[in-house]
Amino acid sequence: MDAKNKQVKPANTVITYRTPIYLQLREIVRNRIEEGEYLPGMAIPSENELAETFGINRITVRNALDALVNEGMLQRVQGKGVFVLGNKYEEVLEEHGGFVPNLASGKATVSTKEQVKSLRPAGDKFANLFDIAPEDPIYFIRHLNLVGGEAASMEEIYVPQDICPQLDAVNTSVFPMRDVFAFYDVEMCSMRQSLEIIQGLSKTRKMLDVPDGVALIMMECTFRDKTGRVIEFSRSFFRGDRSSFRITLSDRP
Amino acid sequence: MEYHVAPRTEAMEKLENFIAVNRLTAHTRIPSERDLCEMWGINRTTLRFAVDTLVEYGRLYRVRGSGVYVAESKTVRNIVGVNSMSMEMQQQGIALTSKILSMRVIEATKQVAKKLRTTLGKKVYECIRLRYINSIPCIIETLYLDCETCPDFDKYYSDRASMGYIYKNIYHLNQESGEENISVTYLSAEEAQLMDAKEGEPAFFTTGFTKTDKGQILEFYQSIFRADIFKMVSVISKD
């Protein structure tokens, strides 16, 4: 069997002490992903850590991971690490329409910071929204989105824990919620978005460093699954001077 | 991971929920601060924060010396298709009327020419109308059409005519697709006067174009929507 075939059919590779080290490490990582030790959306140990753990060269680690990256099992994210990927949706809900924020004019880089990720009791309001008990746990996540290093928007996300218990392990600043849901087979079937212009709370304005006289755009999104159950609610605040939204219109059925 | 909700957040959500569960309609007064504090066992500062937040989000409003009231919900501009506004409003039982402010033939400026995919100086209709929701002036809409695509448009157009009807029945054109961009603007003195609003108030600024089923650009528009009256909504689903 030549090297090319091994990449295509790795499962058949029999690992022995004579197998090259990089292939041995590749199978270790693959097994840990398949066994669920490394979950989709999670970063695996860094190349340096792996090199140290197994007493091998970093180049060897890199070689081992390359194939898994090419296979679509792992993804390298600049400055953040190597992440496990899961399933993808064949069809993304957003392709059907909806408001799309126009970020970054030109070459400015867009980045997301996960400021808060916590579990909290749903309380009366979210119990009603998600159709769960007030004491049931929900995730609360807050993201700060930066464009060219400056704050452009802030997003608050609420997801019931039972919808996606693995959210704990996932780095939500790397993957949008739609990807995370796809990883864990949570289907998004419909979405309602609304845009309103508001002044915003002083806390929010401070966080986004909004100049006086500039208004905010508040976007609320409700996502539902096939059964109509609400699986995610989010509320975002965009700086009015740095944001616009695009929407595709269509009268085709 | 921490497992709690900040008292202020909890109070705000309780209040939001109270309004929803009790189906309090617009302009209903909510119970007094004292009663709500007692009911939920929270202090005045916490409750005041909750009220302030919901006032800020436009869910409640204060009347001095009288109390706190549930605000009227904003009119939903449901963006579903190319020619949906009047139909959509009709479905919601809202009367949408218009008044022409200006109708003239101009030579296409660089921006208009580009949007209509025509050349500089080409003759185009520029039609500006003020639109009313239940008699409140709240939209200023400027429409550009190529004179060649829609000859004698000024003869057919009136305050009561529907653009969709004119395109379809007079020019036999079917609007099928388009794109719209939404951002924030601030009302000029003139715009504020027309819409009975305050100068400098933030408003929605939308620009867009629509195309026919044959891929021809039909119209280019720019609109200003009062932000205290409208919210933009999009509902999509896979099936």
Asked if A99 lies within 8 A of B182 by C-beta distance, the reply is yes
Minimum distance, in Å, between the CA of residue B34 and any CA atom of chain A: 21
Q: How many CB pairs under 8 A join A and B?
A: 150
Q: What is the pLDDT of residue A8?
A: 47
pLDDT of the residue at A106: 65
d(CA A160, CA A167) in angstroms, rounded, equals: 10
CB interface of B with A, residues 78-117, below 8 Å? 79, 81-83
Q: Does the structure show a pLDDT above 80 at A3?
A: no
A145 vs A46, A175, A236, B154, CA distance in Å? Answer: 25, 13, 10, 47
CA-to-CA distance for B166 and A195, rounded, in angstroms? Answer: 30
Query: Residue A5 above 60 pLDDT?
Result: no
The average confidence (pLDDT) of chain A is: 88
DSSP 8-class letter at B25: P
Cβ(A168)–Cβ(A241) under 8 Å? Answer: no
Task: Assess whether pLDDT exceeds 70 at residue A12.
Answer: no
Task: Work out the angle at residue B94's Cα, subtended by the Cα atoms of residues B89 and B96, and round it to the nearest 5 degrees.
Answer: 70
Q: What is the mean pLDDT of chain B?
A: 91
Task: Decide if pLDDT at B30 tops 60.
Answer: yes
Chain B nearest CA to A161, separation (Å): 12
Residue B16 CB contacts under 8 Å (≥ 6 apart), including other chains: A125, B54, B59
Identify the three-state secondary structure at position A200: coil
Determine whether the interchain pair B238/A190 forms a contact, defined as Cβ–Cβ distance below 8 Å. Answer: yes
Q: CA geometry: angle at B100 spanning B97 and B104, to 5°?
A: 150
Q: What is the pLDDT of residues A57-89, one digit of tens each?
A: 999 999 999 999 999 999 999 888 999 998 887
Fold exhibited by the domain B75-233: Chorismate lyase (3.40.1410)
> B195: helix, coil or strand?
coil
Question: What does the pLDDT look like over A162-209, one tens digit per residue?
Answer: 999 988 888 888 888 888 998 888 888 999 999 999 999 999 999 999
Strands, E assignment, B118-174: 123-133, 136-146
CA distance B179 to B198: 30
Could you give the CA distance from residue B173 to residue A112 in angstroms, rounded to a whole number? 45
List pLDDT tens digits, range B129-185: 999 998 999 999 999 999 999 999 989 888 887 888 888 889 999 888 899 999 999
pLDDT (tens digit, 9 = 90+) per residue, A47-60? 999 999 999 999 99
C-alpha distances in Å from residue A77, one per residue of A2, B34, B209, B212: 31, 53, 37, 42
Contact by Cβ (8 Å): B6, B51: no
pLDDT of residue A7: 47
| Structure letter (DSSP) for residue A20 | -
| Cross-chain Cβ contact A247/B180 below 8 Å | yes
d(CA A26, CA A48): 15
Q: How far is B202 from chain A (nearest CA, A)?
A: 7
| Alpha carbon distances (Å) from B231 to A34, B12, B179, B183, B213 | 46, 22, 18, 12, 29
Note the pLDDT of residue B211: 92
Cβ <8 Å between A192 and B182? no
Q: Which residue has the tokens 């500062």?
A: B45
CATH of B7-70, one of 3.40.50.700, 1.10.10.10, 1.20.120.160, 3.10.129.10: 1.10.10.10
Averaged pLDDT, A83-103: 81
Check A96 against B178: CB less than 8 A apart: no
Model confidence at A6, in pLDDT bands (50, 70, 90)? very low
Strand-by-strand arrangement of the A216-224 sheet: A110-121, A137-147, A150-160, A230-239, A216-224, A190-198, B230-237, B75-78
Closest residue in A to B75 (Cα) is: A196
Picking from B49, B214, B223, B237 by the largest number of A CB atoms within 10 A of its own CB, the best residue to mutate is B237
**CATH topology for the A93-246 domain:** Chorismate lyase (3.40.1410)
- A249 and B179 within 8 Å at the Cβ level: the answer is yes
List chain A domain ranges: 3-84, 93-246
Q: Each residue of B103-134: pLDDT tens digit?
A: 999 999 999 999 999 999 999 999 999 999 98
Q: In this predicted structure, what is the pLDDT of residue B80?
A: 74
Q: Which residue of A has its CA nearest to B17?
A: A125
| Among B17, B182, B232, beta carbon nearest to A128 | B17
Spatial separation of the C-alpha atoms in residues A193 and A205, rounded to whole Å: 22
Q: Return the axis-axis angle of helices B7-21 and B44-56, rounded to nearest 10°.
A: 60
For residue A10, pLDDT beyond 70: no
Q: Is the torsion defined by CA of A90, A95, A96, A100 positive or negative?
A: positive
Q: Which helix (H) or strand (E) holds B208?
A: strand B202-212
Reported as a pLDDT band with limits 50, 70 and 90, residue A104 is: low
A236 against A17, higher pLDDT: A236
Q: What is the mean pLDDT of residues A25-43?
A: 91
Residue linked to tokens 């909004």: A210
Interchain pair B176, A218: CB under 8 A:
no
Q: How confident is the model at residue B49 (pLDDT cuts 50, 70, 90)?
A: very high
Listed by start position, the domains of chain B span 7-70, 75-233
**What angle (nearest 5°) sits at the alpha carbon of residue A235, between those of residues B49 and A99?**
145
Instruction: Go through chain B and tell me how many residues it has.
Output: 239
CB distance B103 to B125 below 8 Å: yes
How many other CB atoms are there within 10 angstroms of residue A71's CB atom?
Answer: 14
Instruction: Please tell me the predicted confidence (pLDDT) of residue A105.
Output: 61
- What would the two tokens of residue B74 be? 């904003």
For position A59, what pLDDT does the model report?
93
**Judging by DSSP bridges, how do beta strands A137-147 and A110-121 pair with one another?**
antiparallel
User: Among B158, B176, B145, which residue's Cα sits nearest to residue B83?
Assistant: B176
The ipTM, to two decimals, is 0.92
Helices (H) and strands (E) in chain B, counts: 8, 10
Residue A91: closest C-alpha in chain B = B238
Return the CATH architecture of domain A3-84.
Orthogonal Bundle (1.10)
